Structure 1
Amino acid sequence: MPVQPSRWSFALVRPILLNKLGGLGTRNKPLKRTAWLDGLRGFAAFLVYWHHHQLWAHYPTGETVIFENAFGYDNKYYFVALPVVRIFFSGGHYAVTVFFVISGYVLSTKPLSLIQAGELAKAGDSIGSALFRRWLRLYIPVIGTTFLYMSCWHWFGIWTAAGEMKENWWAELWSWYAEFKNYSFVFRTGDDSSFPYLYNFHVWSIPVEFKGSIIVYTALFAFSRCARNPRIWCELSLIFYFLYVADGWYGAMFMAGMLLCEIDLLAIANELPRFFSYFESFKELLFLNLFIASLYLGGVPSSDWDIQVLEKSPGWAYLSYLKPQAVFDFKWFYLFWAALFLVASVPRLPWLKHFFEGRFCQYLGRISFALYLVHGPILWVLGDRLYTATGFTRDSHKERLPKWIDAFPISKAGPLGLEPSFLVPHVILLPVTLWLAEIVTKLFDEPSVKIASWLYNKSLAPRSTPNLNP
């Protein structure tokens, strides 16, 4: 029976939160084994949201450098820059590296389980299907959200400080198409595409996600016939190559996720190499320390690529000597270890795993991709105006948003990053962002999975049946 348009429209815009927190209020079935990964991804997406709002709001005051430098750097001592604390104010880069490690883990789960079971033909089918569907899965939501965002500039006459509007919608449409077609080809040479800078800064990570996916699928194919120990050594060798030989930090993160998946599946089957048995007696203490190390390394200073900045940062001088020669932007090296330690620790620390399996983190996990895609446009359209109204003003606002300047002035007293003038707008911004993320999840994210699967199934050759006639 076809769904009525009015019913479909209501279901699209009805907040999931009204349904007992995203349908998670009453659990009719137990959580899947890797539910903690969904919760971790969702929480990481929220960190990205919070980080970008902090930087955008505080850019006019020149305080963004405080968020992205170590506590005590240049004799500046702020609560938001304290080790571990800084993760909750400027943990966006940390969160993105966690995304990449999680992706390596999730993409490997089904193929590796089949490889370990010796079902190589099924593993090959699984990898082929996943690779066919991956581009569509990643790029359909990007296409949909950026198209609507750039169209709204012209349909509703919306100005944003994060982009330069063309003279009319048709010119904008051509620019959007021309930039997207280059952006969509991840093996291009020369300059990077301008697409993220024009239509959504934050989608810079999507081509990286696709390239990392190809690395994982290729490694799965290449190592599928290897025995257990040689396969683990091959995975470790690729991680070493990406991190210490070539500047392929993102490849190391995806391979780290694959390695963690391999180890977890072997542990479930009680087939871990003997080496791991030496850590069994103090496993929880080991991973507690790795978790603490992850939180510290996740706060690596990121205001500059110059290694001298790290050398002069309190608490980082000795750690700066660990940076490999191959890595250009040093933060990714330290964030690799931070993300690896975090994803390895969560399932082995029951209290931490329970947190990420909680209802709100699971809700965030469901909408995490859409939240990542929409939080920027909402920040630049609505957030920019609300921050202008509460006292965070840019020079461009004097010409473009004069009526918004100090329309509702609120005190900036209190710790940096926790000022009432910053927090109050989120009474509106956070619910609106979550709501629109839910809509995008239902409108683009979930359908992209179905469309990719449908196209793959339509493209399959018919299976031949054996002739049983004599």
Structure 2
Amino acid sequence: MRGICCFIVIIDHCINFYKPDIRFTGMSGVGGEFRRLIAWTPLNIIYSGIAPVCIFFILSGFVLSLKFNQSHDNKIIFSGVVKRYPRLILPILASMIIMYCVYFLLYHYTGYNMNLTFWEAITQALYFAPFEHTALTNYALWTISYEMYGSFLVFALLSFFGSHKYRILFYSIVFLFLYINNSFYSLFVFGMILSDMFVHGKCSFTAYARIIFLVLGIIFVTTPYQRDGVELYRGMYSYISYFDGVEYKTLYQLFMLTGSMLLFCSLCGSNIAELILNKKPFQYLGKISFPLYVMHATILTVVTWVLKNTVSEVSLTNFLVTFFGTVVLCFMISSLFEKYIDVPAIKISSKLSKKLSEKYF
């Protein structure tokens, strides 16, 4: 699931960089009709990059609490806290150093300046990405600060309430507070709740309920994002105009939170979903998903420069060829990154947590 979500994020970013007008709804002719068909229906899920991020956050809450929910061993919480920073930041640090080197060579040989110093690459990786909600040179890393704080929120709730008889009630109070405030952090807590229910056999939805969750979830998460060239309140999403007293950005965030939770519920514990997602292509995609996420910005920057200096106007054919080339390149580099950087980072963080656990437990 994580791999599929990451792939959708890459499609989103490829369109942003290579051919933004693929989303434009005001164009004429057959191309315009085709664009509107996608933009104003759930088909736009293929390039809607925010919903996958919401799924990432639910997955984190679900997975980080899973082992504790199975064993109620406090060592797991301690281990999770110790591992989280190095597990995330070591690959991010490597990706930022690679980004700096690539940008340095790009500037040296072409004069194309991305304005990234070595010190900025290091500080963005070690501090700004995990601890500040701020724009970064590697734009995809805006999620990491949410991941970091969301992870610690999960561990804090587990340590306070994880073994309590009424833990679901306590989790739900925290969840509702965050959800009412339209916070991404509500998704981490939702993942925790679902994980607890899953472990204790309470996450069994009927087939009809799953279908309803799936349909409503897709409708909500494909709500058009507010951006240049995209007309809002149109097509299937004209119903949003009934909420014209609420700022669109606020509504959009609420639909993303709600839709992603419904989608996750439709898949969690589903035999069909498990059968599909256990296929080798999806397993491979999941394995390289984090390297793919942290590395694709560097790759897209270089490919964008090549594309803009090769053709004066990017046609649909140019876009498709460039997109498939980008995907192949991303997969190749991410596979190497996963083998030589991501896996060692996991081993280092695990060894660190093991040593500290043996010392303090």
Q: Shorter-chain TM-score: what band?
A: 0.7 to 0.9
1:218 is matched with: 156
1:250 is matched with: 184
CA contact (8 A) 1:158 1:381 kept: no
Cα distance per residue 1:212-259 (max 9 Å; x no partner): 1011111111112311xx211222211110011x34x21111111111
Report the Cα distance in structure 1 between the residues aligned to 2:184 and 2:305, rounded to whole angstroms: 32
Determine helix, strand or coil for the equivalent of 2:224: coil
Answering whether residue 238 of structure 2 is matched by residue 339 of structure 1, we say no
Report the Cα distance in structure 2 between the residues aligned to 1:160 and 1:292, rounded to whole angstroms: 49
Consecutive unaligned residues of structure 1, counting only runs of 5 or more, are: 1-39, 68-73, 116-121, 167-171, 389-400, 413-418, 465-470
Query: What is the CA-CA distance between 1:297 and the residue it aligns to?
Result: 0.9
Determine helix, strand or coil for the equivalent of 2:156: helix
Cα distance per residue 1:389-411 (max 9 Å; x no partner): xxxxxxxxxxxx3xx235xx88x
CA contact (8 A) 2:75 2:357 kept: no
Answering whether residue 279 of structure 2 is matched by residue 358 of structure 1, we say yes
Amino acid in structure 1 at the alignment position of 2:86: L
Answering whether residue 278 of structure 2 is matched by residue 381 of structure 1, we say no
CA contact (8 A) 1:239 1:256 kept: yes
Consecutive unaligned residues of structure 2, counting only runs of 5 or more, are: 27-31
Answering whether residue 102 of structure 2 is matched by residue 102 of structure 1, we say no
Per the normalisation by structure 1, the TM-score is 0.68
Query: What is the CA-CA distance between 1:358 and the residue it aligns to?
Result: 1.3
Cα distance per residue 1:151-201 (max 9 Å; x no partner): 22224536697x6336xxxxx212333444540562x6xxx545x1x2x11
2:143 is matched with: 205
CA contact (8 A) 1:101 1:253 kept: yes
CA contact (8 A) 1:152 1:158 kept: no
CA contact (8 A) 2:221 2:260 kept: yes
Report the Cα distance in structure 1 between the residues aligned to 2:244 and 2:271, rounded to whole angstroms: 32
Query: What is the CA-CA distance between 1:458 and the residue it aligns to?
Result: 3.1
2:29 is matched with: none
RMSD: 3.1
Amino acid in structure 1 at the alignment position of 2:36: Y
2:84 is matched with: 134
Query: What is the CA-CA distance between 1:42 and the residue it aligns to?
Result: 0.8
Determine helix, strand or coil for the equivalent of 2:43: coil
1:85 is matched with: 43
Report the Cα distance in structure 1 between the residues aligned to 2:129 and 2:35, rounded to whole angstroms: 43
Query: What is the CA-CA distance between 1:317 and the residue it aligns to?
Result: 5.0
Q: Percent identity?
A: 20
- Alignment counterpart, residue 102 of structure 2, candidates 152, 155, 159: 152
Cα distance per residue 1:274-300 (max 9 Å; x no partner): xx8xx86xx101101111111111111
Query: What is the CA-CA distance between 1:325 and the residue it aligns to?
Result: 7.8
Cα distance per residue 1:351-403 (max 9 Å; x no partner): 33322121111110000001111122111102442x33xxxxxxxxxxxx3xx
What pairs with 1:449-464 in structure 2 (closer than 5 Å)?
A: 449-460=346-357, 462=359
- Alignment counterpart, residue 68 of structure 2, candidates 111, 117, 137: 111
Determine helix, strand or coil for the equivalent of 1:86: helix
Change (3 A) 1:221 1:155: same
Cα distance per residue 1:427-453 (max 9 Å; x no partner): 422211101011111122111111111
Report the Cα distance in structure 1 between the residues aligned to 2:39 and 2:140, rounded to whole angstroms: 23
Per the normalisation by structure 2, the TM-score is 0.87
Change (3 A) 1:432 1:463: closer
Report the Cα distance in structure 1 between the residues aligned to 2:266 and 2:244, rounded to whole angstroms: 23
Amino acid in structure 2 at the alignment position of 1:435: M
Query: What is the CA-CA distance between 1:318 and the residue it aligns to?
Result: 4.2
Report the Cα distance in structure 2 between the residues aligned to 1:440 and 1:364, rounded to whole angstroms: 13
Query: What is the CA-CA distance between 1:322 and the residue it aligns to?
Result: 7.3
CA contact (8 A) 1:107 1:216 kept: yes
Amino acid in structure 2 at the alignment position of 1:79: L
Report the Cα distance in structure 2 between the residues aligned to 1:321 and 1:112, rounded to whole angstroms: 42
Amino acid in structure 2 at the alignment position of 1:95: P
Q: How many pairs were matched up? A: 353
